[in-house]
Chain A
Amino acid sequence: MASESGPRQAQKRWELENDVTMEDEDLTARLSKQDRKLGAEAVGGSSSRGGAGGSKQMASAAGRDDFWKYDKEAQRGLAEQAPWAKDPHYFKTAYVSALALLKMTIHTKQGGNIEVMGMLQGKPVGDAIVVLDAFVLPVEGTETRVNAQAEAYEYMVEYNQRSKESGREENVVGWYHSHPGYGCWLSGIDVNTQMLNQEYTEPFLAIVIDPIRTQAAGKVEIGAFRTYPKDYKAAEGASSEGSYQTIPLAKVEDWGVHASKYYSLEVQYFKSGLDANLFELLWNKYWVSTLSSSKGGDSGGDYLTTQMKDLVERLEIEEGRVHAGRLGGWQLSKDGRKKGQLSKIAQDGCKVATEQLHSMLSQMVKDRLFNKGGVQ
C-alpha cells in the first residue's frame, strides 16, 4: 500500500494541475465504462465531424481509447469535405500517441548524428491530426538528402498494405525525421517536401525530433509543422518565427529564410486506458532508472562542447559588430534588426547552464543518498 504512493501521488498532482479527476473505481470497471461511453458516442453519430466542439473535451481525459476507433464512413466523409483545403491554418493540434512517441524517440536516437526518417499513421479528428503509430523508412541521409527515394516509397506502400491487412485502417498522415543537435524546425528541403505532400496527400503533418537535445534536456524535443500554400502570406507572428529557439550558427541562415513558410502545431500526447494502467505499473519497476540516469554520460559532454563553441562563435561575431558600431558612430548599431542578438545569446547560454544545473542536481541528490548517508 505504502509503496504505491509514488505513482499515485504523481497522478494526483497531474490531476490537480490539469483540473481533471480520474474515477478511483477498480480498473476493470473503469475500462468497461470507457468502452460503454465509446459505444454511446458511436451511436450518437460520429461526433468527430463536429469539429471544434469535440476537440475541446478531448484534451481532458488520460485514457483516449476513442482515438483507436476507426470509423471508415466518417473518415471518408471528412476526406470528401476536406475542410483543411479552405483554411491554410485549419489544423491546430497534433495528438501523438504514447506508442508513436516511443517509436520515434527510439528510432531517432538510434540514428545518432545521422538524419533518419519514418512515416506517421493516423487520422484527422476535428482541427487536430491524431498520430496513432509510426514506422521507420529505410532511408538515412545528411541534412540535404532527407527525401524519400523510390525504394522507400515502395516500402511505404507495402507496409501500409500489410498494416491494413492486420486491422490497421489508419492511413499515412505525415512523416517524421530527426535533426540531431540543431533543434526542431523545417529546412528548405523539408519545406519543399512537406509542401508537395500537402498538395497531393492531405492531410499531412511533419514532425521533427531532435534526439541530442532530447537527451540533454531530459524531455522529448519535438515539433509538429505544416506549411502554408505557396502564395500564402502568413500573418504577423502566426508563423514559426514567433517562437524562439536555439539554432546553431551553421544552420541559422537556412532557418531564417524558410521560417515564414510554415507554422507549428501544438503537440499533445495521449494514451489508452490500458496504456495508462500499464505505465503506472511500469513505474513500479522504473523508478530505478530515473534515479540512476545521468545526463552527462554518452554524447552529453560532446553536445555540451558543441553548444559552448557555438555560443563563443556567436559572441565573437557580436563583439565584432559592436566594435564596428562604435567606430562608425552609434547610428550603425541602431540597425534595429540586430538589436536583440546579444540577449538571444544570453538566453541560449542560460539554457545550457540550466540543463547542466539540472543534471548536477540529480548528481547531488544521489551523492547525498548513497555516499553521505548516515552522516547527519
Chain B
Amino acid sequence: MEDDRKSVPAQGEGSGLEFKLHPLVIINISDHFTRCSLNVKENGRVLGCLLGEQTGRIVHITNTFEMRLEGENEEAKVDRNFLSAKKEQYKTVFPDLEVVGWYRTGGEVREVEDLRTHAVIGEVNESPVFLLMDSKIKEGSRDLPISLYETELRVSSASGGAPSPHFVGAKYTVDSLEAERIAVDQVARIVPSGKTSTTDQLTSHMTGMQNAVKMLRDRIAVILETVKAMRDGKIPTDHGLLREVSSLARRLPVGTSKVDHELGADYDDTLMMAHLSVMTKGNAKMHEVINKMNATYDSRVASHHRRGLF
C-alpha cells in the first residue's frame, strides 16, 4: 500500500493499531475536494477531521467533517474555534464518534507543514492519524490513492538530539457496514433505481455476483501464475508466500457437514416459499376468473329470464 513516498520511511513500527477505513470517508473527502476545486480554486488542498471509533486495537474511521483555514497559502492555520464547534455538532448526533485524526488532499507529505497541523489535532486526540489522499489518480493504478500515517518520536541529528515527531506509514483496510455496502453497490455500479421490475433486480444481483466471482478468479489466477513462475525458477522462491498459499488452499472446503445440512434446510424453506407464493398467485387468478364467470353467467341467465318472460 505504501509505495515510493520518498519523504517518509516506508514502514515504521507504528502504534500497532489496526485501521479500518469506511467508504463514506473516501467519498466525503472526494466531495470536499470537488466542491473546493470548483468553487474556490482549482486543485486547492482541502483539510478535514476524521471521526471514528476505537475498540481495542482496532480503529474504525467512519466519518469526516471539513476544517476551515485561517490565512492564506502556506501560512494557513487551522481555525480552532470552527474545529471545536464542528466537533460538538457531531458529538450531539453521533455520541460514539471521536476525532481520530485528520485528512488532506495532495501528492505527498510535507513534513514541516503537516506536523504543525498534526499538532493542532493532537490537542484533541493524543495520537491522531493523518490521511493523505491523492486527487490525481494514476492510470492503471489499482490501489486507492490513499495513505495513512502515524507519528512516532525519533531522535535525529537534525533536531539536535531532542526527540521529534516523524510520520510513519500505517496500514489500513477497507471495511463497510451492510447498509454502506448496499449503498456503495448501488451508486458504484448504478443499479437501476426507482421502479425496477423483478427481472432487473435479478440481473443486477447476478451481475454483482458474477463480477465478484470474476474478481476472485482473477486473483486466484495471479496466485497460480506466481506459484508456476516459482516452480520454473523464473522468480526466487518465497517460502512465506508459499506457506500462505498452501494454508489458503487447505481451508477448502470451508463448510462442514453441519453447514451443509443447514444450507439444505434453508434451501428447502426457500423452495417452500416459492411454492406458496406461486400457489397464492394461482389462487388470486382463480378468484378473478370465478368472479368474471359469475358476472357473465349471471347476466346471461338474467337476460334469458327476461327474454323468457316476454
Contacts and interface: CB of A to CB of B under 8 A. Distances in A.
B31 interface: yes
Contacts of A279: 184, 187-188
B179 A215 contact: yes
B45 interface: no
A372 B253 contact: yes
A343 interface: yes
Interface in A279-310: 279-291, 293, 296, 298
B182 A68 contact: no
B183 A220 contact: yes
B27 interface: yes
B280 A9 contact: no
Interface residues on A, range: 35 or more
Most chain-B Cβ atoms within 10 A of its Cβ — which of A66, A358, A374? A358
Given A274-B34, A350-B281, A360-B267, A105 B182 contact: yes
Contacts of B176: 286, 289
A232 interface: no
Given A159-B89, A168-B35, A360-B270, A3 B24 contact: no
Main secondary structure of the interface of B (DSSP, over half): helix
Contacts of B195: 243
Interface stretch (A47-55, A78-86, A200-208, A265-273): A265-273
A226 to B, nearest CB: 16
Task: Assign chain B's interface to a size class.
Answer: 35 or more
Interface in A291-340: 291, 293, 296, 298, 315, 322, 330, 333-334, 339
Interface in A230-244: 243
Nearest to B206: A361
Given A106-B177, A214-B182, A287 B34 contact: no
A117 B142 CA distance: 37
A18 to B, nearest CB: 8
B92 A138 contact: yes
Interface in A65-87: 65-66, 68-70
Contacts of B143: 281, 284
Nearest to A293: B181
A221 B141 CA distance: 34
Name A's interface SS.
helix
Given A278-B144, A360-B270, A162 B216 contact: no
Nearest to B198: A354
Contact of B188 (A28, A282, A363): A282
Most buried by B among A13, A137, A287, A296: A287
A266 B194 CA distance: 7
B188 A356 contact: no
A45 B68 CA distance: 30
A277 B134 CA distance: 12
B221 A2 contact: yes
Identify the interface centre among B139, B178, B205, B276: most chain A CB within 10 Å of its CB.
Answer: B178
B270 A214 contact: no
A290 B179 CA distance: 12
B300 to A, nearest CB: 14
A371 B211 contact: no
Contacts of A146: none
Interface stretch (A93-101, A191-199, A246-254, A255-263): A93-101
Max chain A Cβ within 10 angstroms of own Cβ: one of B24, B135, B212: B212
Contacts of A101: 183, 186-187
B23 to A, nearest CB: 6
17 contacts: A28-B136, A102-B27, A110-B179, A168-B35, A219-B196, A243-B195, A269-B186, A281-B145, A284-B143, A285-B174, A343-B284, A346-B283, A347-B281, A349-B276, A357-B273, A369-B213, A372-B253
Closest 10 CB pairs of A and B: A109-B179, A353-B277, A346-B284, A279-B188, A287-B215, A3-B218, A105-B183, A349-B277, A371-B253, A98-B187
